[in-house]
Amino acid sequence: MIVPRLALKSLANRWVTALLTVLAIAASVMLLLGVEKVRTGARQSFADTISGTDLIVGARSGSLNLLLYSVFRIGNPTNNMTWKSYEDIAKSPDIAWIVPISLGDSHRGFRVLGTTPDYFKHYKFRRGQQMVFTAGAPFSDLFDAVIGADVAEKLGYKVGDPIVVAHGAGSVAFLEHEDKPFRVSGILAKTGTPIDRTVHVSLAAIEAIHVDWQSGVPDTAHAVTIDRVRTMNLTPKTITAALVGLNSKVATFRVQRAINEYPEEPLSAIMPGVALQELWGLVGTAETALTAISAMVVATALLGMMTMILTTLNERRREMAILRSVGARPTTVLGLLTAEGGLLTLAGVLLGTLALYAALLTMRPVIDRMYGLNLPIDALRPDEWMKLAAIVVAGILAAALPAIRAYRLSLADGMTVRI
C-alpha cells in the first residue's frame, strides 16, 4: 500500500500535469467507446430501415440492387414488374399483405414514390414502429401528396402547399408535370430512414401525370386536363416493386422460391434482412477504419503520458535519490512510476467512460431527432471491457520505460548537483 500512496501524493504534487494527462486519456477513451456506440447504433439503424417486411419482390436483378432502389431510393430498377404479376402474387394464400411501389419521378432532388394507403399501415421500421403523421393525413384525393420530415424541413412545406413533380429522378428538373400539381396532405414524423426524403403519392397519381406523355416527353397535342383524368381508368400497367408480408415465417422460403420461378416473367424475391447484412458487409471497411483511428488516438494519449513522465524524470532525480537514501529499494522506485502511469490511465478510462454516458444521455434525443440515429445506452459489452482493460495495461507498460530508467539511477548520481 506504500507505493500507491506515494504515487497518489506525487501526482497530487504535480496535479496540473496529471490532470491534463488524465483529460487526454479520457478524451481518447471517450472517442474509442463513442465510435463503438455510433457504429453499433448505425448498424442497428441501418438494419431497422425496414422491419416486418418478409420479402421484397421486383424484376429479376441482384438482391442489393433491388434493396437499394426499393428501400433506400438509390439507383434505378433494371426493369419493372407487370401489374398482372403483382395481382397473381397477391392471390397466394401465404401472403398476409402486399404493397406496391412505383418510382421514377422526383421533386427538387427528392424521390417520388407511388403506392397505396396500405403503405403507411404496413411499412414498419426500427423494430416494428409505424409511421406517424405530425400534420395532416394519408392521401385521399388523386393529387394528394404525403412528404417526409426532411422534405418538409428543407423546403419549408406545410399541409396544403402545392407541389409540382418533375419527370425523372435527377436533382435538376428539365421536364415538370406543371399541368397536374399536387397538394401536401400530410407530413410524416422523423424516422431516420429514406422515408424522410421521399414524396409519397398514390399509384393512380403516377399514372395520371403520365397519361399524356409519350416516350418520356409531354404530348401537348393530346394534353389531358385534370378533370378528364379523374374519370379515366388509372390502373398501372407496371410497378417498380412490391413489399410482402407473410402469414407465417415458415412459408418465407417456399414463397420466395415460387416467385423466383414465376413462369410469366423473370422476378426476384429477396429477404430484406439478408440483403441488409450483405450490404453492411460491403461498407464494413469504414467500421475498421474508424476503430483504427480511435485506437491510434488512444495510443497517442498514452505516448503523451509516457513523454510527460520522461520529461519530469530529470527534475525528480533528487526525489528518487532521497527515497533511496531513506531505505526505498530500487523496486520501490520502479513500482512508484509504474503505479503513477497505471493510476493516470485508470482515472482517464473512468472519466472517459462516465463522460461518454453523460454525453449519450444528453445528446441522444437530439441525435435521434436530427439524424435518425438511435444510439444505445446500455452496459459495456465484454469486448468493450476488454478494450478498457487493455488500455490500462498499456498505460502501465507505457510508464514502465521511464520507470526502468529511474530504477537504474544510482544514489550518487541522484544526489549530484549538476551545473
Q: Which residues contact 285 (CB under 8 A, 6 or more apart)?
A: none
- At residue 62 the predicted structure's pLDDT band, cuts being 50, 70 and 90, is confident
pLDDT tens digits, one per residue of 182-239: 999 999 998 888 999 999 999 999 999 988 877 666 666 677 888 898 899 999 999 9
Residue with cell 491534463: 20
Q: Once rounded to an integer, what is the mean pLDDT over residues 358-363?
A: 88
Report the pLDDT value the prediction gives residue 170, as an integer from 0 to 100. Answer: 60
Report the pLDDT value the prediction gives residue 411, as an integer from 0 to 100. Answer: 47
Rounded Cα distance between 66 and 74, Å, is: 10
Residue with cell 494519449: 301
Amino acid at position 209, single letter: I
Rounded Cα distance between 352 and 26, Å, is: 4
**Mean pLDDT comparison of 26-30, 119-123, 218-222, highest-scoring range:** 119-123
pLDDT tens digits, one per residue of 321-335: 666 666 666 666 666
Report the pLDDT value the prediction gives residue 313, as an integer from 0 to 100. Answer: 59
Reading the block at residue 15, the C-alpha cell is: 496535479
Rounded Cα distance between 279 and 170, Å, is: 24
Residue with cell 406496391: 100
pLDDT tens digits, one per residue of 96-113: 999 999 998 899 889 999
CB 203 within 8 A of CB 144: no
